[in-house]
Copies of this chain bind each other. A is one copy, B any other.
Amino acid sequence: MDEKAFQDYYPDDLSYCYGCGRLNEDGLQIKSYWEGDESVCRYRPRSYHTAVPGYVYGGLIASLIDCHGTGTAAGAMYRAEGRAMDTEPAYRFLTASLHVDYLKPTPIDGELEIRARVKEIKGRKVIVTSSLYVQGVECARGEVVAVQVPTEFLEALRQRGDGSD
């Protein structure tokens, strides 16, 4: 199993995302890994990530599903092309749409496990479905439509600097 997370392969100048950038010190710094055909992200919410007392804030859940989804989309695209994530060209995905169904209140005192699957790859678009579990109980379900960032836009972004503006 690959010990590096999908996000560890992102170029430095594109690693300031609040959700998944390993260089964003104020962010969530999530990590995603393949486990067979599923990708998995585990995250322990902070005490301030509360909604109502004892339960996880829905916006955090949406954020995790979002970033784990775009990470999985990138991982899936490399896989589909049969190449490793540290090979060129670098792929990054942005979210075109995000949907989350909150099935039940999510307890804040456990580890959140988000398991995702690729539903469809069509051209530059990857659809990823996710379920969020706490101690094996499914608490939320999500779908992300991720779109590969065009190379020229990606290059323009990278020339803007380190993203910390």
What's the nearest-Cβ distance from chain B to residue A73, in Å?
13
Q: Which A24-43 residues sit within 8 Å CB-CB of chain B?
A: 24-27
Evaluate contact between B157 and A53: CB separation under 8 angstroms.
yes
Total count of chain A residues near the partner, CB < 8 A? 51
Evaluate contact between A161 and B17: CB separation under 8 angstroms.
no
Evaluate contact between A53 and B18: CB separation under 8 angstroms.
no
In the bound assembly, the distance between CA atoms of A27 and B57 in angstroms comes to 10
Q: Known contacts A60-B18, A100-B97, A101-B97; decide if A26 and B53 are in contact (CB<8 Å).
A: no
Q: Which A54-105 residues sit within 8 Å CB-CB of chain B?
A: 54, 57-60, 62-64, 66-67, 92, 94-102, 105
What's the nearest-Cβ distance from chain B to residue A147, in Å?
9
Classify the secondary structure of A's interface with B.
Answer: loop
Residue of B nearest to A154 (CB): B52
Q: Which A1-52 residues sit within 8 Å CB-CB of chain B?
A: 13-14, 16-19, 21, 24-27, 46-52
B contact residues around A149 at 8 Å (CB): 52
What's the nearest-Cβ distance from chain B to residue A149, in Å?
7
A160 on interface, CB distance cutoff 8 Å = yes
B contact residues around A27 at 8 Å (CB): 48
Q: Point out which of A51, A54, A64, A160 has the most chain B C-beta atoms below 10 A from its C-beta.
A: A51
Q: Known contacts A18-B59, A59-B67, A63-B63; decide if A54 and B165 are in contact (CB<8 Å).
A: yes
Q: Point out which of A19, A95, A149 has the most chain B C-beta atoms below 10 A from its C-beta.
A: A95
Chain A interface residues (CB < 8 Å from chain B)? 13-14, 16-19, 21, 24-27, 46-54, 57-60, 62-64, 66-67, 92, 94-102, 105, 108-109, 149, 157-158, 160-165
